C-alpha cells in the first residue's frame, strides 16, 4: 500500500480546515454530486483545500472520512492520542479518528493500525454509514458481486433498505471500488435528507417522491395521508426514515423497497409484501405471503389508463391477485388505485403536494 510522503501529509493536515467558497472552482453545477457536496459544505461537514478546491473526484481517505463524520456528529476534533500505532497525536485528524473509533463509527485493523491515508472502498463505506446512522432494516440485494458471507454484506442490505444506494444497472455493487469525495458526500447526504434519497432509485422507479405528501381515499370514507419522515426510536428499537400513514388517530409505518429485480412494501421489524417484479411484462406472475397464505399475482396490463381524483394516468401497470383484486402502479407514484373483485374502489390517490 502506498504511503504518503511528508510534504503531502502537510497539505493533508490543512484539509477540511479552510472554508470553501460558495462556488469551488472544481465543483461545477453540472457535477453529479454538486447538490450533495454543496449541502454538506453549508452544514460545515466539508471544507476545502488551501487552493479553494474540494476535489470531488479524488478518492476519500479514512482520515478524511473521520473528519467528515466527526463534524457531522459534533465530535471533539482536538488533536489527541489515539489507540492506533500509525496515527500519532500530532496527526491532523487524530482527534476525530480517536473520537470516531471510541463511538464505534470507524474501526482499525487487527495489527493495531488505522491506515489513515488509505482510500475507502464501497464495502467499507456501507459499514460506516450503517454505524453512523444506526440503520436497522435490511433488504435482499442479490448483487452478484457481494457474497452472502462478505463482512460488508449486511451493511449493504441496510443502506439499500434505507434508500441510500441502489447499486449499478448490471446488478453489481462493486464493493472493492474506491470511493471519491463526491460519492462519499452523496451517501452522507442521502442518509440525512429525503430529497437526496430520491436519487437512489433505479431507472423508471415506481417509488414515490419522498419530499411530497400523498393522500388516498379509502373505501370506508376515511383518508390515509402518507408522509416520509424521520421516525424517532422507540421501545429500544431504531426506526429512522419511513413512510408514515395517518388514518384518523391511527398511525403505521412502512418502507418502499426496490432493487433491479422487484418492488415491495416492507414493515418495520416484520416481513415485506412483494408488489411488482422487473422487468414489467404482461403475464408475469409472482407470489406474495408466507406458508399457507401464499397468493399468486399476475401482471395483467401495462400502459393502462386509470382515472383517480388526483389525475388520470395513462401509463399504469395493472396487477391482478388470485382474489380478483386489481391494483394499479405508476412510475414515480407507487400504487394509485385498487379495486376489489366486485368493482368497489378500495383506495384511490386523491392528492399529492
pLDDT digits (tens, 9 = 90+) for 7-25: 333 333 334 434 444 568 9
Residues 266 and 183 in one domain: no
Residue 79 counted as domain residue: yes
Residues 267 and 150 in one domain: no
Residue 137 counted as domain residue: yes
Q: Are 275 and 264 in contact (CB under 8 A)?
A: yes
Model confidence at 48, pLDDT cuts 50, 70, 90, reads confident
Q: Is the model's pLDDT at 47 over the cut of 90?
A: no
The domain of 324 spans 254-352
Q: Is the model's pLDDT at 176 over the cut of 90?
A: yes
Question: Which cell goes with 32?
Answer: 453529479
Residues 258 and 190 in one domain: no
> How many Cα atoms are found within 13 Å in the side-chain-facing hemisphere of 226?
27
How many independent structural domains does the chain possess?
2
Residues 88-114: what's their mean pLDDT? Answer: 96
Residue 219 counted as domain residue: no
Residues 321-331: what's their mean pLDDT? Answer: 96
Residues 51 and 183 in one domain: yes
Better-predicted residue by pLDDT, 106 or 13: 106
Phi, then psi, of 332 in degrees rounded to 5: 85, -5
Residue 134 counted as domain residue: yes
Residues 222-233: what's their mean pLDDT? Answer: 97
Q: Which of 278, 274, 267 is nearest to 289 (CA)?
A: 274
Percentages helix, strand, coil for the chain (3-state, rounded to 5) are 20, 30, 50
Per-residue pLDDT, 75: 97
What does pLDDT average to over the chain?
A: 91
Pairing label, strands 262-266, 272-277: antiparallel
Q: Is the model's pLDDT at 209 over the cut of 50?
A: yes
Question: Which cell goes with 48?
Answer: 476545502
Per-residue pLDDT, 4: 35
Residue 187 counted as domain residue: yes
Per-residue pLDDT, 11: 33
Q: Are 220 and 186 in contact (CB under 8 A)?
A: no
Q: Are 187 and 125 in contact (CB under 8 A)?
A: yes
Last residue of one domain, picked from the residues 164, 197, 230: 197
H or E segment and range at residue 63: helix 62-73
Residue 247 counted as domain residue: no
Residues 285 and 157 in one domain: no
Residues 191 and 258 in one domain: no
Model confidence at 243, pLDDT cuts 50, 70, 90, reads very high
Residues 168 and 295 in one domain: no
Residues 125 and 13 in one domain: yes
Measure the CA–CA gap between 20 and 300, rounded to whole angstroms. Answer: 54
Q: Peptide bond preceding 279: is omega within 30 degrees of 0, i.e. cis?
A: yes
Q: Is the model's pLDDT at 337 over the cut of 90?
A: yes
Residue 278 counted as domain residue: yes
Residue count of the chain? 353
Residues 188 and 263 in one domain: no
Q: Are 326 and 342 in contact (CB under 8 A)?
A: no
Model confidence at 240, pLDDT cuts 50, 70, 90, reads very high
Residue 10 counted as domain residue: yes
Last residue of one domain, picked from the residues 181, 197, 213: 197
Per-residue pLDDT, 186: 96
Measure the CA–CA gap between 12 and 8, rounded to whole angstroms. Answer: 6
Per-residue pLDDT, 10: 31
Computed from CA positions of residues 327, 330, 335, 337, in that sequence, does the dihedral angle turn out positive or negative?
negative
Residues 73 and 190 in one domain: yes
Better-predicted residue by pLDDT, 193 or 20: 193
Q: Are 154 and 137 in contact (CB under 8 A)?
A: no
Residues 186 and 264 in one domain: no
Per-residue pLDDT, 291: 65
Per-residue pLDDT, 140: 80
Residues 301 and 168 in one domain: no
Better-predicted residue by pLDDT, 290 or 220: 220
Amino acid at each position: 500500500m502506498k504511503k504518503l510522503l511528508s510534504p503531502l501529509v502537510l497539505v493533508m493536515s490543512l484539509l477540511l480546515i479552510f472554508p470553501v467558497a460558495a462556488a469551488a472552482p472544481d465543483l461545477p453545477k453540472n457535477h453529479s454530486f454538486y447538490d450533495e457536496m454543496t449541502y454538506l459544505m453549508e452544514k460545515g461537514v466539508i471544507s476545502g483545500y488551501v487552493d479553494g478546491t474540494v476535489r470531488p473526484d479524488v478518492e476519500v481517505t479514512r482520515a478524511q472520512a473521520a473528519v467528515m463524520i466527526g463534524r457531522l456528529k459534533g465530535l471533539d476534533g482536538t488533536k489527541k492520542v489515539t489507540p492506533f500505532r500509525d496515527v500519532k497525536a500530532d496527526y491532523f485528524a487524530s482527534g476525530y479518528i480517536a473520537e470516531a473509533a471510541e463511538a464505534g463509527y470507524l474501526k482499525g485493523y487487527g495489527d493495531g493500525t488505522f491506515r489513515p491515508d488509505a482510500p475507502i472502498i464501497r464495502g467499507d463505506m456501507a459499514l460506516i454509514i450503517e454505524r453512523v446512522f444506526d440503520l436497522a432494516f435490511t433488504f435482499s440485494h442479490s448483487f452478484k458481486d457481494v457474497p452472502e458471507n462478505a463482512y460488508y454484506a449486511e451493511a449493504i442490505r441496510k443502506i439499500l433498505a434505507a434508500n441510500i444506494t441502489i447499486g449499478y444497472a448490471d446488478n453489481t455493487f462493486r464493493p472493492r471500488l474506491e470511493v471519491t469525495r463526491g460519492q462519499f458526500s452523496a451517501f452522507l447526504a442521502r442518509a440525512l435528507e429525503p430529497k437526496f434519497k430520491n436519487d437512489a432509485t433505479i431507472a423508471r422507479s415506481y417509488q414515490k417522491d419522498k419530499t411530497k405528501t400523498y393522500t388516498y381515499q379509502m373505501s370506508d370514507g376515511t383518508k390515509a395521508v402518507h408522509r416520509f419522515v424521520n421516525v424517532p426510536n422507540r421501545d429500544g428499537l431504531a426506526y429512522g426514515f419511513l413512510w408514515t400513514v395517518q388514518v384518523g388517530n391511527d398511525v403505521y409505518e412502512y418502507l418502499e423497497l426496490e432493487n433491479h429485480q422487484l418492488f415491495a412494501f416492507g414493515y418495520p421489524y416484520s416481513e415485506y409484501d412483494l408488489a411488482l417484479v422487473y422487468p414489467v411484462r404482461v403475464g408475469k406472475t409472482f407470489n406474495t405471503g408466507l406458508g399457507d397464505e401464499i397468493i399468486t399475482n399476475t401482471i395483467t396490463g401495462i400502459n393502462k389508463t386509470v382515472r383517480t381524483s388526483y389525475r388520470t394516468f395513462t401509463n399504469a401497470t395493472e396487477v391482478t391477485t388470485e382474489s380478483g383484486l386489481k391494483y394499479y402502479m405508476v412510475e414515480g407514484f407507487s400504487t394509485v388505485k385498487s379495486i376489489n373483485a366486485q368493482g368497489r374502489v378500495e383506495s384511490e390517490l386523491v392528492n399529492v403536494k
